[in-house]
A and B are shown apart, each in its own frame.
Chain A
Amino acid sequence: MELKKILISPIARGAFANSLEISARTAIVGAILGALFAWALVSGKPGSFFYRFSVALSSVLAQFGGVMLTFAFLATFGFNGLVSTFAIKIAPDSFLAQSDWLYGMTGLSLLYTFFQIPLMVLVFLPTLENLKPQWREASDALGGRVYEYWFRVGIPILTPSFAGATLLLFVNSFSAYATADTLINMADFLTPLEISSALSSEVGGANPAEAKALSLFMIIVVTLAMTFYALLRRRVSKWEQRR
């Protein structure tokens, strides 16, 4: 059957597996770094300029995918980029001096994490702000040390939200795979991914069934992720206030 052939088709699988791997990796890294940064924001002065600036910057960076992101990273790591020229002077043999590592998996992950972190900050900040100071104080008063508080109270309470946010990041990354394409093929911004080229080209082109199967897989992955998310949500209701 067509479906089976597609499963075996190396190209489709390659693209698919790549996007899964990148999404997972960047979701986790972005979630951790984003959560830490959000914590740094929350534990600072409320309403400060730094806070507002970080939130505004996060909104912008989370949305400015595609074009700007590409240019930003080329300016940093590409040929004649800031970091690469720096690296050439200091460590000419390191990978940083080469300008095409950016197009590989590592480079792509770095790129993606760049907008995963702000997204995580936006999504996780409210959760952190809901962490009531009384819980920390109660734990202190009862004799708990800092790590004990985090281990027994803070982290258990935050975990479902954190997992949900990570899922969201995963889904976001997965569906934003288009950014990768821009980087890989700078000459032609209109290059569609395998799916859309297959779908939209009525003039011969790749196998439409293949495209449909690929989109089916994407839908399945996303549905699974959203289901997990809904389940997580329900779990938190167990101890959430119901209005």
Chain B
Amino acid sequence: MKQTWKLKIWRGIIIATVGLYLLVPLIAMLDFSTKPFVLGMNSRTLESWKVIPAQPDLALAIGRSLITALIVMLLILFLIVPTAIWVHLKLPSLRRPFELLCLLPLAIPAIVLVVGVSPLYRWISINLTESPITLSGVYSMLILPYTYRSLSAALDAVDIHTLAEAATTLGATVSRVIFGIIMPTIRTGIINGSFIAIALVLGEYTISNILNYKTFQVVIAQIGRSNGNVAVAVSLASLLFVLFLLLLIPNKKRQGAILDVDIA
């Protein structure tokens, strides 16, 4: 398709407008966190940023959140993906209702959700462990809308029925079909679904806060209460950190859009 100059202009305008909208607050955060804030300073400073490594709770919280992300990933790989494959393969009539079910977490306000699960987590923290890593349970539910739809698209794109049949006649067991044959085929869908899962785990605040767990974002908020500049610096740092993590994941394919599937 010829790229006329008219097209390029439109593209430019849109990218500039939306880009600005999204980037200005981020730049503002950078500006804010490097402003001179004590009398006597008159130039930009990285003081607020330097404080970050010194925060005691932060490293711990990052570590915990990363582990939680890892657990969520494992739950995706060993629970959600096989289920999605199973539904697509063996229970096609349940596909639509299942999909709608997976969309539900988007609709339930975090507040309502938290009120619902708080008794459960109270029990967990008393009887099992106080670690925030247990949040991976709730988080796995929260990422369902995004992850399931990504998987669904990848599964639709490949003829998994034929693959499964071929493998079975060759002697493969069910688990081998799922893990050894189909999963590698839908690798992109899994990766894309994981993208947003990681972003969610590291970015979630409301639930962990009300349940009183010290996750990444909660600690950031805590820091923020005492010192505005540092709070902004830390927020920005956390955003850049996760962004950097995500960019590390190889994702070259064009239809590697996060949700990889038609909304309707």
Interface residues of A (CB under 8 A from B): 33-34, 36-37, 39-40, 43-44, 46-47, 52-53, 55-68, 71-76, 80-83, 113-114, 117-118, 122-127, 129-130, 133, 136-137, 160-161, 163-165, 168, 171-172, 174-178, 189-190, 192-193, 195-196, 199-200, 215, 218, 222, 225-226, 229-230, 232-233, 235-236, 243
Contact = CB atoms under 8 A, between A and B. Distances in A.
Question: Chain A binding site: helix, strand, loop or mixed by DSSP?
Answer: helix
A59 B262 contact: no
Given A64-B203, A68-B239, A222 B246 contact: no
Contacts of B107: 171, 175, 222, 225-226
A58 B243 CA distance: 9
A113 B22 CA distance: 10
Contact of A176 (B110, B114, B221, B225): B110
A72 B240 CA distance: 13
Contacts of A243: 156
A168 B104 CA distance: 10
A187 B203 CA distance: 21
B250 to A, nearest CB: 10
Nearest to A170: B107
26 contacts: A37-B14, A43-B3, A52-B251, A53-B247, A63-B199, A63-B200, A71-B231, A72-B29, A73-B25, A74-B232, A75-B29, A80-B32, A82-B24, A82-B27, A113-B21, A122-B258, A123-B259, A123-B263, A124-B263, A125-B258, A126-B257, A175-B106, A190-B209, A196-B210, A232-B264, A235-B264
Could you say which of A39, A53, A66, A174 has the most chain B C-beta atoms within 10 Å of its C-beta?
A: A66
Given A178-B111, A218-B112, A60 B246 contact: yes
A75 B209 contact: no
A117 B18 contact: yes
Given A36-B14, A71-B29, A47 B252 contact: yes
A170 B61 CA distance: 32
A61 B240 CA distance: 11
Chain B contact patch, size range: 35 or more
Pairs of residues from A and B, 6 with the lowest C-beta to C-beta distance, nearest first = A175-B109, A125-B257, A66-B205, A82-B28, A75-B32, A76-B28
B21 A117 contact: yes
A37 B18 contact: yes
Given A46-B254, A68-B238, A71-B224, A126 B261 contact: yes
